[in-house]
Amino acid sequence: MVSVSTLHAEPVPDTVLMVDDNATNLQLLYQTLDGRGYKLLVAKSGEQALNIAARAQPALVLLDIMMPGMDGYEVCERLKRDPVTEKIAVIFLSALDDTSDKVHGFHLGAVDYIAKPFQVEEVIARVDTHLKIHRLEQDLERRNRQLEILNDRILQAMGEGIFGLDRKGQAIFVNHAAAAMTGWSESDLTGSDLLDEKADGARMPMAECVTPSSLTDGRIHFVDTASFIHRDGSRFPVEYSCAPIHEDERITGVVVVFRDISERIRTEAELKRSHEALQKSHQELLDAQMKLIQAAKLESVGRLAAGVAHEVKNPLAVIQLGLEYLSAEGEGDETEVLVIADMLNAVQRADTVIKGLLDFSREKELDLAVDNINRVIDVSLQLVKHELTQHNIRLFRELDDSLPDLDLDANKVQQVFINLFMNAIQAMGKDGDLIVRTTIQDLPPGDSDLPSCEFDEAQQLICVDVEDTGSGISDEGMAQIFDPFFTTKPVGQGTGLGLSVSRNIIKLHGGEIGLDNRPEGGVVARILLPVNKGAKDGKETNTAG
């Protein structure tokens, strides 16, 4: 195995080889770098440079390009091709200052390029920099090797399996743990080619190991997850390392240290399942908490809304009657008439808000009857037909005629559709497409492509999609879209209660409603109603949603 003393042996310190066929240039380079703590070597030809580099292994070569016989490019190429000298840093010095010449030098493996005539300060700075980089790289490589060997020793002490192989892949030694894990006896394994099949066709434990790589490149290899072969032909998961054995600077074999990681993989899988279950439970707890908070919030808002609506409605009715009386009298100048008209509009607006508050807050009995959702949609579309025409909206009606009848409060559901249709029309303004589609589908539990449209158990559902081609809704708006009093419409054009009331109605029918932006632009509102499932308790309450 690699000895610790070998790992601690320092490379030749800061040796610089200068190569130039011009004695004057060599002398100038020598004077430039002399006295800076480097060991300086010189060569006057490419052949001489290769011999010195192989023997002395300098950290850096300052290499002239234009030399007779073997030029600098060939010297560099041969240095990088030889494993003994491949890590030597090469800096070209040449009067060739064309970009293509520099690029060619870098492609051959040079680390830098200094143009002649050179500046003394530039040569010193670049040599210092690349020698520092070279020392850091050597130190890093040395430390990595030390850590790898220390890791090997720890693994051996913990009873990991160990194979020692010669260059042909035959086992030189095998420890007891390796034999126990593979099912072969130590005598069966010792002397066998562990990288190939036996004569009887049995595959050996390391038949697919990367051990040959360590034999050729002399490096330590680690494999996090692989599989070795048991004597009975089954596979078991392992992690292993291959470290080359050096004797007299030659690689004579490798040491393979491995461990069976079956238990670790099982533990990781169990931990993953436990983590996923914990995450699911945590999310369910958060969802339940949010539902409780939302229910409490809506209950408080409902009570407040009911109180405000009842207190304001009577005085508002008196004001409206007074204004209608003044308007009917027709007296006063034109300004007074306009002011009275504006006041009447404001009162009617306030009355609309109050009606919305009452619809949101009070309980009502649902008037359930067997009906068909397509019929309710058609009636609702007739009621908004004028608005569609006024806004030049094209209607695409795609209703499935095979839908079964449901127990519905047709008036309430009609209110939902009219609200969705009007929202879509107002979102598009002028011109656009309104798509109304009904389908029937089997939906697995929790499987829906829209927020808030999920069921705890598998359902056969009637699906109603209302799509528009407007500008869509922002992420922030989408998160609050069902909150009471929240609206994306301009001030004065919406109460912010329509979708809250609509969601309440759909939930009381045992269904779900959700909104999302369409990839091609606009919004899709989806209503899901379970087949053969009546309304919840026949009551409409302000805690739904």
Q: Quickly name the fold that domain 4-143 has.
A: Rossmann fold (3.40.50)
Intrachain domains 4-143 and 271-362 with the same fold: no
Say how far apart CA 225 and CA 229 lie, in whole Å.
14
- Which of 201-205, 242-246, 400-404 has maximum average pLDDT? 400-404
* pLDDT at residue 255 greater than cutoff 70: yes
The pair of structure tokens assigned to 29 is 């380079």
Domain 271-362 is of which CATH architecture?
Orthogonal Bundle (1.10)
pLDDT of amino acid 490: 57
> What value does the mean pLDDT of the chain take?
79
Q: How confident is the model at residue 166 (pLDDT cuts 50, 70, 90)?
A: confident
Instruction: Tell me phi and psi for residue 291, to 5 degrees.
Output: -65, -40
pLDDT of amino acid 211: 66
Q: How confident is the model at residue 545 (pLDDT cuts 50, 70, 90)?
A: very low
Q: How confident is the model at residue 505 (pLDDT cuts 50, 70, 90)?
A: confident
CATH number for the domain formed by residue range(s) 363-540 = 3.30.565.10
pLDDT of amino acid 163: 85
Q: How confident is the model at residue 359 (pLDDT cuts 50, 70, 90)?
A: low
* pLDDT at residue 533 greater than cutoff 60: no
* pLDDT at residue 309 greater than cutoff 90: no
Is the model more confident about 294 or about 472? 472
Q: How far is CA 210 from CA 74, 156, 213, 215, in A?
A: 34, 20, 6, 9
DSSP string, 39-78: EEEEESSHHHHHHHHHHH--SEEEEES--SSS-HHHHHHH
Q: How far apart are the first and last CA of the chain?
A: 71
pLDDT of amino acid 401: 92
Q: Minimal CA–CA distance to 403: which of 437, 438, 444? A: 438
Q: What angle do CA 386, 387, 389 make, to 5 degrees?
A: 65
Q: Minimal CA–CA distance to 26: which of 82, 71, 56, 67? A: 67
pLDDT (tens digit per residue) in 430-488: 889 999 999 998 875 554 554 445 555 557 899 999 999 988 888 887 777 776 666 66
Average pLDDT over residues 410-427: 88
Q: How confident is the model at residue 535 (pLDDT cuts 50, 70, 90)?
A: very low
Three-state SS string over 454-522 comes to CCCCCEEEEEEEEEECCCCCCHHHHHCCCCCCCCCCCCCCCCCCHHHHHHHHHHHCCCEEEEEECCCCC
Q: Minimal CA–CA distance to 93: which of 75, 69, 79? A: 75
Domain layout of the chain by residue ranges: 4-143, 158-260, 271-362, 363-540
pLDDT of amino acid 152: 53
Q: How confident is the model at residue 138 (pLDDT cuts 50, 70, 90)?
A: confident
Return the SS3 of 299. helix
pLDDT of amino acid 288: 77
Three-state SS string over 234-273 comes to CEEEEEEEEEEEEECCEEEEEEEEEEECHHHHHHHHHHHH
Counting residues of the chain whose pLDDT is more than 90, the rounded percentage is 21
pLDDT (tens digit per residue) in 373-398: 999 999 989 888 888 999 999 999 99
pLDDT of amino acid 70: 92
CATH number for the domain formed by residue range(s) 158-260 = 3.30.450.20
Q: Is residue 542 packed enough to be buried (19+ CB in 10 Å), middle (13-18) or exposed (0-12)?
A: buried
* pLDDT at residue 4 greater than cutoff 90: no
| Ranges 105-114, 218-227, 258-267, 304-313: which has the least confidence | 304-313
pLDDT of amino acid 310: 61
